[in-house]
Structure formats: C-alpha cells, structure tokens
Amino acid sequence: MRRCDNARLGAGFPPHEGGDESFVFDGALAMSSGRFGRVLTGLLGLPAPPRLVRAETPYAAQPLLGRAVLVGGGGDLRWAAEIVPALAGAGAQIQVAAGQPGVSAIKRAAAAAGVALKTEPNEEDRANAAYAYVFDASGFATPDDLRALFDFLQPRIRRLPKNGRVVLLAAAETATPAAAAAAQALRGFTRALAKELGRKGSSANLLAVAAGAAAALAGPLRFLLSDYSAFITGQTLTLSAPVTEPGAFVKPLAGKTALVTGAARGIGAAIAAALAREGAQVVGVDRPQEHAALTQTLAPFAGRGVALDITAADSPQRLTQLLADEFGGADIVVHNAGITRDKLLRNMSVPIWDQVVDVNLGAVLRIDTALLASAGLKPAARIVCVSSIGGIAGNAGQTNYSATKAGIIGYVEALAPALAARGGAINAVAPGFIETQMTQAMPMLPREIGRRLSSFSQGGLPSDIAEAVTFLASPLAAAVNGRTLRVCGQNFVGA
C-alpha cells in the first residue's frame, strides 16, 4: 500500500482512505466554528455547523431506551407488524398520533406483539416529545397518497429535536407507473427534507424494502435511528430478502474474523477498532513501512498484524493461506486501502494511472478472487469495500481515482448475487469530506468549502466511516447486499 504524495486536492474529494496518514481530528468542528469559519459563514450566509452526537459505546440491547419514536403511515401500512416490535425491542417508547391514518394498523400490531403504545403528547410537553419519526409509506399507490406524508410531518417537523431522526419506509418494487411515481417521489422528498434538517444535526433517510425483507427491518432501523449513523442523511438504502437469519444485536461479531486492509492509521484504524469493539478478531494489513504503526493500532484489542503490499503478486495467496491456516477463513473482509495520485488527464503519466488502478481496484479483485476460490473466506462472509463520492460525481484531476471508486460500486453490484448464493453479502461505503491529517494540510479556504458542502456544514470523522462499515459487516445488515451507502453528511456534490 502506498501513501498519497500529492498536495493538490479538490475541495469536495480529499483523500480519505486508510493508506493515508489520516487521524480523528477532534478539533475540526471547533476550528470550523472559529474566527475564520465564523467570518466565512457570515459572508456566505451559511448556518453555523451543528454539533453531531456520535455513539461512544458498543452496540446495546436497547439503544433507543428512554427515547420516544412517533410512528405513522398512509394507505395500507404493510410493515406495521414488523416496525412495532422492532422499535419496542430497541427500547423505544412508541407513540401514535390520534386521528392519523394508519393508527388502527399500528394498534393491531402493538396488541399482537404485546407492546404498549403512548398517545402523542401535546405541543407544550417537550419533555415527552418524540426523538424520531418513522413513517410507513409502503402502501402508497399514487402520488395522491403523498398527502398523508405531508399531513403527518408538516405540523411536527419543527418539533423534532436537535440530532433527531426521520426514517421513511417505501416498497422497493411497484406494480404500476403511478406507484413507481409515488415511490420515486419519496426519494426526492427524503433528500430535500434532509437538507432542511441538517442545520440542527437531524437526519432523514429512506428504507426501500423488497418483498421478503421486512422481517430484517430491525437492524437497519436500529442503525439509522441511533447515534451510530450521525453523518448519514438524505440516503436511500434498499433492503433485499436476507439469505440468512439476522443475528444478535449485542456483540454481533463475536467469534468472527475480520480482515481490514490499510489498517495502520486513520479510517482503517477506526474500522479495525470498531469491528473489534463488536467482538471481531481483527487481522490488519498494511504496507511493510507501516509495521510499527500497525502494531500500535492493533495492540489494544490483540489484533493480528500483517505487513505486506497488497499489489504484490503473491499477496492474495499469502492472505488466503494465513486466513485459512490461522483462523479457518475470514467472516468479514474490508477493502479500505487506497491512494490518490492527482493530475489532470492531459498531464497524467502511465505509471500514475496504473498505480491508482492497481491499488484501488485491481488488488481488491485479485484478493477476492483468491479468497472466494479457497478456504480463506467462509461461506457466509460479508465483504465491505470503501468507495468514494468521487466515484459518484467525479472530480477534475482525479480521472484515475474516480474511475476506480466508480469501479468499486459496479463490482459490488455485480458480485452480490454470487455472495448471496454462498449465504453472504458484499456492499460499499462512499465517504465524502472526512477530517484527516491530509485535509488539515489543505489551504484554509478549500478546506472550509469542503466542509460546508454537506447538509451538516461540516466534515465527517473516521469513526463515521467505521460505524457504517461495522453495520454492513454485521447481522444488522442481513437484508443489505450489493448496495453503496454514502457516508457524507449529504454532500451536495454527486447523486
């Protein structure tokens, strides 16, 4: 693995992969809110960045304990029977709004599950106000049904607290053009609402649920409603029918072995620590020059370090042999290592092009091919690749980098059926502007612009990427396969 050695960076897409000397910059928000940040905010008429609340503890049995969630819906609430016990199991106090469509379906689901419901408190009762809203729009058949969503959220949205959550549910498959129009409208609504909520640190996301996937709703709901998803907003995550039963919510990775490339520093180190926190035995890989840093990173959770260049011809075989011999195969593989070598295409040399393609894409495919053909990968393994919003939107001077990160997205989509046939899954995360040592080296103006491109008016932290990877690597994401989840605070650049 090689380090990025260029200093010219696009404001929207600084390097963020684990091969860089990145780190958790705890003072990023303070600096963004400092004198220069305040001046820039005033000049541009931008809101001050909110302080996001991030999780600091391992997954809990009831992560929503002490929090109220208001549940509503329109038309036929297809998944009330799954939503109610999922929220109750997470410890949430479930509220319903009297007189709203769908209340009867929610009450029937609660009665069947033995769950007590609370009536939505009046507007003056702030102490018992809902922390999050969950709306089941799965039964929407025409655009006219969107009115139920408006009627539910419009009078209440100003009451959503800071760092609150809105999660909408829609059907992933539709039977008519009218239903397809309504379903697509929900995606646009979610993106627009997320931009409105960003100034208070609150998020809005959509779960598009395919036939057979509703039984696995509990995991995605826990994640999106919790503090682990602090930097994810404006996204649609599609759920497919899971090939295995969802597993435990507490220490979900206990007894599993996780391979993480680019693990010595930055995002890779954060991913390794998060996976270990949830019970995984971590095998961290980084280039030989990073051996000391890799050892230091893995020591707190007794991780196994492997110093090698992932582009070397014998690396796939060496990793396969190690995983098979010492661990009986990997349950989780995280392809995090990556580099940038920025040049405008007219100035780009063949070595610069080849190096980025080889590290960011070629090595991923070669390692996976070797693992899939051997005992180095267990049948139900989950693979997570780190892409980038640079692969979604592109960036001047990064044709090589953007090509590889878009290639990762296509690779994940194409390989998903083969992984599902084995009982596993493959997904990707696409980071946006992440606070690292390298972004701190950027000129101040481009750095501030990069931060302000998100709906939260700030960059993310390595821990935000680590939490998304941990979710996708865990049984909580049993119904997620072939997807790319943007972890960018709804960066305004890209889809």
Which pLDDT belongs to residue 328? 97
Which pLDDT belongs to residue 43? 64
Which pLDDT belongs to residue 127? 86
Q: What percent of the chain has pLDDT over 90?
A: 78
Q: What confidence tens digit (pLDDT) does each residue in 400-431 have?
A: 999 999 999 999 999 999 999 999 999 999 99
- What average pLDDT does range 279-287 have in this prediction? 98
- What average pLDDT does range 436-451 have in this prediction? 74
CA-to-CA dists, residue 283 to 73, 87, 324, angstroms = 45, 34, 12
Which pLDDT belongs to residue 347? 96
Q: Examine the residue annotation and report whether 401 is marked as an active-site residue of this protein.
A: yes
The catalytic position among 131, 133, 401, 411 is 401
- What average pLDDT does range 228-244 have in this prediction? 95
Which pLDDT belongs to residue 120? 93
**211-214 long-range contacts, CB within 8 A, separation 24+:** 211/172, 211/173, 211/241, 212/240, 212/241, 212/242, 213/172, 213/239, 213/240, 213/241, 213/242, 213/479, 214/78, 214/79, 214/82
Return the domain boundaries, the chain.
Answer: 28-53+245-487, 68-225
Is beta strand 132-136 parallel, antiparallel or unpaired with respect to 68-73?
Answer: parallel
- What average pLDDT does range 195-202 have in this prediction? 96
Range from 36-45, 104-113, 209-218 carrying the lowest mean pLDDT: 36-45
Q: For residues 358 and 442, which has the higher predicted lDDT (pLDDT)?
A: 358
Say how far apart CA 376 and CA 328 lie, in whole Å. 7
Confidence band for 160, pLDDT divided at 50, 70 and 90: very high
Q: Is a pLDDT exceeding 80 seen at residue 322?
A: yes
Confidence band for 56, pLDDT divided at 50, 70 and 90: very high
Asked if residues 193 and 204 have their Cβ atoms less than 8 Å apart, the reply is: yes
Helix, strand, coil percent values for the chain (each to nearest 5): 45, 15, 40
Q: Is a pLDDT exceeding 70 seen at residue 175?
A: yes
User: Would the CATH topology of 28-53+245-487 be identical to that of 68-225?
Assistant: yes
Q: Is a pLDDT exceeding 60 seen at residue 454?
A: yes
- What average pLDDT does range 392-405 have in this prediction? 93
**Exposed / middle / buried, residue 428 (Cβ in 10 Å: 0-12, 13-18, 19+):** buried
Which pLDDT belongs to residue 404? 97
Q: Is a pLDDT exceeding 60 seen at residue 191?
A: yes
Which pLDDT belongs to residue 41? 58
What would the CATH number be for the domain defined by 28-53+245-487?
3.40.50.720
CA angle 244, 242, 215 (to 5 degrees): 100
Which pLDDT belongs to residue 92? 97
The number of C-alpha atoms within 13 Å of 286 and in the hemisphere containing its C-beta is 31
Say how far apart CA 191 and CA 193 lie, in whole Å. 6
Q: Is a pLDDT exceeding 80 seen at residue 453?
A: yes
Q: Mean of the per-residue pLDDT values for the chain?
A: 90
Say how far apart CA 180 and CA 437 lie, in whole Å. 44
This prediction has a pTM of 0.92
Q: Is a pLDDT exceeding 50 seen at residue 11?
A: no
Q: Is a pLDDT exceeding 90 seen at residue 206?
A: yes
Q: Is a pLDDT exceeding 90 seen at residue 249?
A: yes
Q: What confidence tens digit (pLDDT) does each residue in 329-351 have?
A: 999 999 999 998 999 999 999 99
Which pLDDT belongs to residue 307? 97
Q: For residues 127 and 291, which has the higher predicted lDDT (pLDDT)?
A: 291
The helix (run of H) or strand (run of E) holding residue 444 is helix 444-452
Asked if residues 234 and 463 have their Cβ atoms less than 8 Å apart, the reply is: no
Which pLDDT belongs to residue 449? 77
Spelled out in words, what is the top-level CATH class assigned to the domain 68-225? alpha beta
Confidence band for 25, pLDDT divided at 50, 70 and 90: very low
**299-302 long-range contacts, CB within 8 A, separation 24+:** 300/273, 301/272, 301/273, 301/276, 301/277
Q: What confidence tens digit (pLDDT) does each residue in 361-382 have?
A: 999 999 999 999 999 999 999 9
SS3 of 131, please?
coil
DSSP 66-122: T-EEEEEE-SS-TTHHHHHHHHHHTTPEEEE-TT-TTHHHHHHHHHHHT---EEPPP
- What average pLDDT does range 125-137 have in this prediction? 94
Confidence band for 15, pLDDT divided at 50, 70 and 90: very low
- What average pLDDT does range 304-318 have in this prediction? 97
